Amino acid sequence: MSQESRVKSQELTSAQIEAQRRSRQMWAKRVGGQAYLWLLLIVLYAPILLIFIFSFTQSKVFGNWTGFTFHLYENLFTGYDSTAQVRVDPNLYRAIFFTVVIAICAATIATLLGTLAAIGLYNMRSRARKGITFLNSIPMINPDILTGISLFLLFVFLGISRGFATVLIAHVVFCTPYVVLSVMPRLTQMNPNLYEAALDLGATPAKALRKVMLPELKPGMISGFILALTLSIDDFGVTFFTKGSNGLETLSTFIYADARKGGLTPELRPLFSLIFLTILVLLIFMNIHANKQMNKQK
């Protein structure tokens, strides 16, 4: 072996060692980063895990383990606690009912109102558009408590008694801006000539809307609807101030009232465990679906 080539091979090995050292460093960094993320996730999920675990025991007191059983799930579905021989709080079911009804109504109204508004906004002059966009952003910026109190004052001022209708209006108030924002990008991406072309080819405005505009806007409307649904179901602050005292409760206000009384209705544990599992499964499916679509595109 010549002198030259020996030096070269030595250089190679030192370069290799350097590369090894580097990859080891990279590995340590990646593992460290991953560990940090998982640690945060563990803390984030600990309370939820707790709800899940204690949905499988019968104890009325949250955090008190009295043996594994499916009793609470049974109670939740039958509405009757067979051990204590009492009905499960009927207000819980009323609260579930109102939560769902209000969410569906509010999301539907918000989607219609917001989609129309987005189409209108898109066709406006920029000054008017800016003004309305600002108004549209107020309910998103305003914290729950201010939206709730301002609407509370409005209903008091107008002498409207608070109940289902006022809660529904309030939910439409904070849901619609998000629908506008999710429909808007679809409009800007759409070819503006398509609608005009449909009109020129003899379609009535209604038909052009149905056959040309709506199919383009649909994805935005759907994601706006789902977002509105989630916001409505999750809301506490606004509902609290607009529900009045006629006994109308959503799940959020029901839990709050329950917690203030001291005890939490034990059937809430299986209820939210099931909700969480459902959403988890849905998200996993959505992800698999999205990945498949991505692979197809490739």
Partner 1 sequence: MSKLTDLVSARRTWAWPYVLFLVLFVVLPLLLIFYYAFSTPGGDFTIQNFVKFFHTSEAVNTLIYSMAIAFITTVICLLLGYPAAYIMAMAEFKTPQVMALLFILPMWINFLLRTIATVELFHMFGLPLGEGALLFGMCYDYLPFMIYPIYNTLQKMDRSLIEAAQDLGADKTNVFTKVILPLSVPGIYSGIVMVFMPTVSTFAIAELLTHNKITLFGSLIQRSFGEGGIAMWNYGAALSLIMLVIIAATSFFDQERDHDAQKGGLL
Residue 254 has a CB neighbour count (10 Å cut-off) of 20
Closest separation between CB of residue 291 and partner 1, Å?
7
In angstroms, give the least distance from the CB of 51 to partner 1. 5
Exposure string of 207-229, with b = 16+ CB inside 10 Å and e = fewer, is: ebeeebbeeebeebbeebbebbb
Site map 226..265 versus partner 1, x via CB under 8 A: xx--xx--x-xx--xx---------xx--xx--xx---x-
In the complex, the smallest distance separating the C-beta of residue 1 from partner 1, rounded to whole angstroms, is 37
Judged by beta carbon, residue 157 or residue 296, the one nearer partner 1 is 157
Please report, as residue ranges, which positions from 119 to 178 form the binding site for partner 1 (by CB under 8 A): 119-125, 128, 132-133, 135-146, 149-154, 156-157, 169-170, 172-173, 176, 178
Query: Interface residues for partner 1 in 182-221 (CB under 8 A)?
Result: 182, 205
Residue 93 in contact with partner 1, rule: CB under 8 A = no
Nearest residue (CB) to partner 1, 104 versus 146: 146
Question: Could you tell me which of 101, 54, 40 has the C-alpha nearest to residue 248?
Answer: 101
Helix (H, G, I), strand (E, B) or coil at 266: coil
Indicate the length of the chain as a whole number.
298
Going from the C-alpha of 101 to that of each of 95, 168, 215, 235, the distances in angstroms are 10, 9, 27, 14
Backbone angles phi, psi at 80, to 5 degrees: -140, 130
Q: Pick the binder of partner 1 from 12, 17, 116, 160 (CB under 8 A).
A: 116
Q: Which is nearer to partner 1, 102 or 170 (CB)?
A: 170
3-state helix, strand, coil in the chain (%, to 5): 80, 0, 20
Q: Write down the least CB distance from residue 297 to partner 1, Å.
A: 16
Q: Which of 273, 253, 271, 270 is nearest to 261 (CA)?
A: 253
Half-sphere exposure of 239 (CA within 13 A, CB side): 26
We find the least distance from the C-beta atom of residue 62 to partner 1, in angstroms, to be: 5
The residue with tokens 């939490």 is 264
Considering only residues 264 to 293 of the shown chain, the ones binding partner 1 according to CB under 8 A are 264, 268, 272, 275-276, 279-280, 283, 287, 290-291
If one asks whether residue 51 binds partner 1 (CB under 8 A), the answer comes out as yes
CB of 23 to partner 1, least distance (A): 14
